[in-house]
């Protein structure tokens, strides 16, 4: 669980710290928003973040993949003005993301939630 919900925004960005935060992310709106804010604050590293996020997504247990997708949604939605580069960069991996997700055995609730995300993005 992310214990530092008021994620410190000062200091240097680190790939290892970002990866740790991804691994600890749970399906809590508060945690997703906190990590989204962190991402947008460190948007200069958006290419590396998307690469690490995608690598992490592939290794997550099936029941944690939805949280990773919610994070993308929050970053893209809330970064439209400050971090439009995220939408472009996540766009470069979304086909592979959905190809990967299509191989998962999700329950109906997760399938429905993913469908809602896609509808919002369209």
CB 35 within 8 A of CB 45: no
Looking at residue 12, what is its pLDDT? Answer: 79
**Distance between CA atoms of 45 and 52, rounded to whole angstroms?**
11
CB 55 within 8 A of CB 97: no
Lowest model confidence (mean pLDDT) among 4-8, 63-67, 70-74, 91-95: 4-8
If we measure between CA atoms, which residue out of 60, 70, 6, 64 comes closest to residue 32?
70
Looking at residue 7, what is its pLDDT? Answer: 46
CB 117 within 8 A of CB 73: yes
What's the rounded mean pLDDT across residues 103-118? Answer: 95
């Amino acid at each position: 669980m992310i214990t530092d919900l008021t994620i410190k925004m000062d200091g240097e960005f680190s790939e290892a710290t970002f990866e740790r935060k991804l691994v600890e992310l749970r399906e809590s709106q508060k945690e997703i928003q906190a990590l989204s804010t962190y991402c947008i604050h460190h948007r200069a590293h958006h290419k590396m973040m998307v690469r690490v996020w995608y690598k992490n997504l592939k290794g997550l247990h099936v029941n944690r993949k939805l949280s990773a997708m919610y994070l993308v949604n929050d970053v893209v939605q809330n970064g439209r003005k400050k971090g439009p580069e995220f939408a472009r960069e996540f766009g470069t991996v979304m086909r592979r993301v959905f190809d990967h997700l299509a191989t998962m055995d999700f329950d109906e609730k997760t399938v429905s939630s993913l469908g809602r995300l896609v509808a919002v993005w369209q």
